[in-house]
Amino acid sequence: MAYEDQGFVWIDDGWWNLYSLWPWIKERGGMMYGMWKGHGAHTPWGAEGGRKAAVIGEAGEVAFALASNVAPAAMADRSPDRSDAGIDFLLAGDVAVDVKASPHFRDPFLKSPAARDHLIEADVFVLVGVDYDGRRARVFGWATRAELLDAPVVGAPTCPDEPAHLIRADDLPHFGLPDARAGVRYETGEA
């Protein structure tokens, strides 16, 4: 099943309706969850919660691709033996983008665990709120690597025992899509 073959998607009040893409999103989410398990990673949510988290992540990436009009080929390589290494898109100008999808779409926050600071490779972090049950997603805004690492380290509302850099959607330094301030140029079409 290919991304391009998934049918009509529309936008309503800033939200991308992903209903027609949901089977493809779930398929890719299942693949990601399988990779997590295959590499010995675990999620604190159990098997079903881990699958759902992977689907939410994929939905966020699809919403970013749609909102920015980026060709699916710009998505980082994902094969059964390779994760995305924290880089979801490579955009023109060699800007590495990590899409952070939040299921808390009414009050989303950009979160990066402080224990992983040394692993951060992306230049830009984009916050996308995902309404799993509504099959829709919305790009809220973004921050650069430096801005995210400068954010306060607190216990996140969903994981209070895991200190993380946290920026609420309303406090993001930049709203909408990454732009020239982050060195981003969008090139659309086939890669």
Number of H helices, E strands in the chain: 3, 10
- Cα–Cα dist 142/158, whole Å: 20
In tens, the pLDDT along 33-47 reads 666 555 445 555 555
Residue 86 or residue 111, greater confidence: 111
Residue 36 or residue 179, greater confidence: 179
Q: What is the pLDDT of residue 156?
A: 66
- Per-residue pLDDT at 136 exceeds 90: yes
Q: What is the pLDDT of residue 72?
A: 59
Residue 98 or residue 1, greater confidence: 98
- Per-residue pLDDT at 116 exceeds 90: no
- Cβ contact 142:172 at 8 Å: yes
Kindly state the percentage of the chain with pLDDT values over 90.
Answer: 29
- Cα–Cα dist 97/87, whole Å: 6
Q: What is the pLDDT of residue 170?
A: 93
Computed over every residue of the chain, the mean pLDDT equals: 78
Residue 177 or residue 92, greater confidence: 177
- Cα–Cα dist 128/124, whole Å: 13
Instruction: Give the start-to-end residue ranges of the domains of the chain.
Output: 3-182
DSSP tag of 41: -
- Cα–Cα dist 42/53, whole Å: 12
